[in-house]
A and B are shown apart, each in its own frame.
Chain A
Amino acid sequence: MSVMRTTSKVLAAGVLTAALAACSQTDTSMQSGVSEADVAGGPVVMRRITEGQYERIVAQVFGNTIELGGRFEPDVRAGGLLEVGAGRVSVTPSGFEQYDLMARNIASQVLEEKNRRILLPCTPAAADAPDDACASEFLAKVGRLLYRRPLTQNELAIQVNKAAEATGALGDFYDGLELSLASMMVSPPFLFRQEIMEPDPDRRGQMRLDAYSKASRLSFFLWDAAPDPLLLQAAENGELHTKAGVQRQVDRMLASPRLKDGVRAFFADMLEFDTFETLSKDTTLYPKFTFRVVEDASEQTLRTIVNHLLTEDGDYRELFTTQRTYLTPLLGSLYRVPVATPDGWAEYHFNADDGHAGILTHLSFVALHSHPGRTSPTLRGKALREILLCQKVPDPPGNVDFNIVQDTANPNFKTARQRLDAHATEPMCVGCHKITDPLGLALENFNTIGGYRNTENGADIDTSGELDGVKFGDASGLGQAVHDNPAATSCLVNRIYAYGVGREATKSESEWLKDQVSARFQADGFKLPRLMRDIATSETFYRVLPPDSEGQMAFASGNAPMQVVEK
C-alpha cells in the first residue's frame, strides 16, 4: 500500500499539469470573411440508418400498420450526435441477426394477402410459379424507395433471379418474393446511407453529390426520412442540380407537416434523449418515476420546442427562458402543479415565482443529468456546456482523490454546494469544477427527478451562480444567461450542420458557418426554419471531397477543451 500511495502522488502531479494544459487551450482559429466560394466541402460519410429512420422508412414505403418485431443495435454518439456516430458504426453479427429477423417480419406482412392487393402493383400469372415481370415491377418500385435511388440493372436482375429461385424451391410466388424483399432490407444500400459523388460540372476538378444522394441528404436533414416520390422525381429530372430546383424542393419540404418529424429527431439527438432509455432512478426513493414519466418527459420538451420554433416561429434563444410548456397530469404531479386535462397534453404556463423557466428546468434536463438518487450540479453543468454550448469539459484526472468530499453524511455539509465547495479547495479539482458547478448549482432547486425543493437536508439552497462572467441568482437567471450567450446559437448552427452532413464541420466549413450562416441566423432573429433553409439551399451543404483526399483530415476543433475562465 505505501508503495502505491507514493506512485499516486507522482501521477497526480503529472495529471494535474496535463489537465490544466487541456483547460487552458485556446481556440486560435478566428478569421473573418469566408465566402461560400472558398469552402471546399467535406468527405462523404456512409451512415447506418438510425432506429427512428428505419421505422419511418418502413412506414413510408409500406404503411404504418407494419410491425417491426426486432431490436436495433445501439447507436453510437460522436461529436455530440448519434447522426455523426452513425458514420462510424457498422453491422455486427448479432445486429445482422436482428436486421434479418425484422426484414423477414416486415416482408411477410407486406405480402400478406390483405396487403399485397395494395402494395403489389401486379398479379402473377400463377401463384405457385415464378413471374419475373411481376417480381421485377414490384422489386424495382419498392427498391427505389428503400434504397433511395433506382436499383442498378445488376442489382435488380439478381433480386428478381433470387425471387424466382426461392419461388421454385417453396412453390409459392409470394413466398419467393417475400424472401427477395427481405434480403433487400438487410442489404447495404438500405441499411446504410451511401452517398455517391460525381464530378461537378460547374467547378472543374471538384466533386459534388449525385442527385439522389442530394435528395437523401436533404430529406433526412429536414424530415429524418427517406425522400418522398416528389423529391426522387426532382432527383431524376435534374431539378436538384439547379439552385432554383433545390430552393423549390426545400421550400416545399419546410412547408410540410413532416418538418416536425425532422426537428424533433434533431433535438432528440442533440439533447441526448436516447439516454432516457437506460435512465434509472431509484424507485424506492422515487416511486413516481416510472417508464411513463420518462416518455412524457422527453415529449414535454419536444412539444415545447416544436411549438416555439415551428408553430410560433420563435427565437431559438427563448427556449432557455420560456415559461410556456406542455404537461400531462403525470408530469404535473412531479412538478407539483395542477394540470386540468384528465389525460393527454395541456398547454401550461409556469409562474414567474415557481422557479421553472426554459428547457433547462424541464425534467428532461435536470433528471437526465443527475445521479439515480441525487442531483449533480457537476453533471448538469457539464451537460449544459457540452450539449448546448458545444464546449468540451475535460474529464476528471484518472487518479483524483475524493477524500475531501467522501464524507457525504457529514452534518456540516448539507447541500451539494457545501460538499462541492469542500471539494473545490483541492487545486487539482478546482480548475474544471469552476467550469461546470456554477451553472449546475443554479438548478439545485430541482431534485433528481425534477421536483421542486427549497431546502436540502433542512438547509436552504443557494442557487446563485455564474456563466462566463454573468452572475445570476437562480434557474431563470441561468436561462437568461444562456439566452444571452453567443455560444448557444453558434452551437446550434454547428450541431445542425454536423447533423446534416454526418460529421463535424471541416475547418473551412466552420469558418463559413461562423462568418456567414451564424450572421444570417442572427439577422433573421434566430429562427430555426430559416437556418435550416439557409443550410439546405447552400451549395456548401452538397459539396464533397473525393474519398481519401488530403483535405478531409482538416477538421476544425469545434470541440476544443474548455478554457478555465478566471474572473
Chain B
Amino acid sequence: MSAVNMLANRRRVLRGMMGGTAISVGLPFLNCFLNENGTALAATNQKMPTCFGTWFWGCGLNPGRWEPNTLGPDYDLPPEVVSLEPIKSKVNILSGFKVFTDGKAQQPHHTGNLGLLTGHVSKNAGQDVSPSVDNIIADVIGNGTRFKSIEVTSTGNARHTQSYRGGSVVNPAEVSPAALYTRIFGDEFQDPNAAEFTPDPKVMARRSVLSGVNEQRRDFERHLGAEDKERLDEYFTSLRQFEQQLDFQLQKPPPAEACVIPENPGETPYSLDIEEATANHKLFAELLAYALACNQTRVFNVVFTDEQSTVRRPGTTTTHHILTHEEAVDEDTGYQPMATWFSYRIVEQFSHMAQVLDGIREGDGTLLDRTLVFGLSETGFAKVHSLENIPMFTAGSGNGAVRTGLHVSAKGDPGSRVGLTMQQAMGVPVTTWGTDSLQTSKAITEILV
C-alpha cells in the first residue's frame, strides 16, 4: 500500500482500542507536546518534535557515478542517484569524506561504518566500540516517547543492525514487519486521537511490580567484577527504559494530527533475496513513518543491506558483495554492470523512505520536514574496500536544523564531520567528536543552519 493510500484510509476505525470504561485521568499529562490549550502543535505555529533516523546500506556506490558535478544547490544527478529526483530539494549529497584507520588493521566492510557512525575505529572486531550517533541523539530527543528508538533490517537477520550502544552491545534489529507492527500498533498501542483515555490498571500493577526488580538491585550486584557490573548496568538501563514505556501507556497521549494506524502487513517472507528485502523495506518505511507520526518514537535505524551487502537477485549465484569484488569491469562503460544494478535498487529505496516520510502531511509541512535521515554506506569503492569518498546522504531538514538540496564535497575530510553535524543539528551539546584522525570539531557549516 502506498503512503498516499494510507493517508486516504487514515480515519479507519480503531477496533478494540477502547476497552473498559472511560475514567478521568489522575496522572499528569505528557505536556511537552501540547500547547496550553492541549491541542496538537501542528495546529498551531509551534514546532513539532524533531526526529532522527539512520539508513544504511553496504558496498557503497561506484566512484564517479554518484557524486554531482556541481556543488551547492541545484546539483545534477549522476546515474546511480537519479532516483533521488522526486525528493532532491529535501536531500543533501555528501561526497569526498573518508575514514582513517590510523594504522589499525582495517576490518573490511566494518571499519567504514564504525568510523562514520561512532567516530571511532576499534582495534578488534566487536570490542571497544563507541556509541553510534543514533544512540547519542536518542539520549537527547528520544526520551519523550514510548520507544526510545526502533531498529529494523530488511535482510532477515537481527544481527544486521548499525545501532551501537557502546562496548560490545548493539540494538538488535526487527526483521519482520508483522512483528514490528504488533510491537508498535498491537494491543498496547494507545491512539493519540481517541476521545477517551482509560489507564489500564494491569499496566499500573505491572509498573509497580517491576519496580521491585530495582529494589533488589543491590542483591543482584553482589560479587560481580567490574566488567560484569557494567553489563548489569546496561540491563538496568534497559529496565528503566521499559518502565518509561509503561509510564507512557499510563498517560493520555497528546493528539497527533497525522497519526493513522497502518494496516497489519501480515507475515512476509524475509531473506537476502533483494526482492524480498525491498518488499519488506517498503513495509518498514510505512510502519516507521506512522510510528513517528503517532509519537511512538523519535529515532529509528534502517539497515537496507548488511555491511557486506550479501543480498542477491533471485536465480543468481552471486551476492552483491561478491559481484563488487569479482565481476569484470565492462570496458565500454567502465563499471561492473551486475554489481551496479544493486546500486540503483539501493538508492531507490533510500529515496522511497524519504518520500514516504514526505507523504505524511502535518500542518503546513510534512513529517520529513521535522525529521533528519542520515543515509550512509561503509565503503567508497567496494571492489577494493576503499574507505575514501564513502557515499552519504541526508534527507529532511530536522525541523529546520539543516539546509537541504545541496551537494557538499569534501577533499578527504574525516567522515566523522557528518556525524558531528547530525548531533549538533539534533541539539546534542557536543563540540568535538571522534578519536585519533577522526576527531573533529568542524561541523559541515554549509548545511547546518
Contacts and interface: CB of A to CB of B under 8 A. Distances in A.
Interface of A: 1, 4, 7-8, 15, 18, 43-46, 71, 73-74, 76, 78, 88-97, 100, 104, 152, 154-155, 158-159, 161-163, 165-166, 169-170, 175-176, 179-180, 182-183, 186-189, 191-192, 194, 196-197, 278, 280, 282-285, 371-374, 395-396, 398-402, 405-408, 547-548
B47 interface: no
B174 to A, nearest CB: 8
A548 B384 CA distance: 42
Nearest to A71: B179
A387 to B, nearest CB: 17
Contact of A187 (B157, B220, B241, B386): B220
A179 B209 contact: yes
* Residue from the set B174, B235, B319, B328 with the largest chain A CB neighbour count within 10 Å: B235
B230 to A, nearest CB: 8
Contact of A180 (B174, B209, B386): B209
Contacts of B316: 282, 373
Given A170-B205, A284-B315, A547-B223, A93 B216 contact: no
B223 A196 contact: yes
Given A8-B384, A158-B215, A90 B326 contact: no
23 contacts: A4-B381, A8-B386, A74-B172, A76-B126, A88-B168, A90-B231, A91-B234, A93-B171, A93-B237, A94-B174, A155-B216, A158-B216, A162-B209, A166-B209, A186-B213, A187-B213, A372-B312, A373-B312, A402-B326, A406-B328, A408-B326, A408-B327, A548-B226
Nearest to B212: A162
B238 A96 contact: yes
Given A90-B231, A372-B312, A401 B384 contact: yes
A372 B319 contact: yes
B228 interface: yes
B377 to A, nearest CB: 16
B108 A395 contact: yes
Contact of A162 (B105, B208, B273): B208
Interface in B199-215: 201-202, 204-206, 208-210, 212-213, 215
Contacts of B126: 76, 78
A152 B219 contact: yes
A18 B242 contact: no
Interface string B144-184: 00011001000011110000010011111010000100010
A96 to B, nearest CB: 4
Contacts, number: 206
A453 to B, nearest CB: 14
A371 B317 contact: yes
A155 B16 CA distance: 38
A97 B245 contact: yes
B207 to A, nearest CB: 10
Contacts of A71: 179
B315 A285 contact: yes
A93 B238 contact: yes
B63 interface: yes
Interface string B222-249: 1111101001101101110110010000
Contacts of A7: 388
A96 B239 contact: yes
B385 A170 contact: no
Contacts of A78: 126
Nearest to A78: B126
Contacts of A90: 169, 231-232, 234-235, 238
Interface in B376-392: 381, 383-386, 388-389
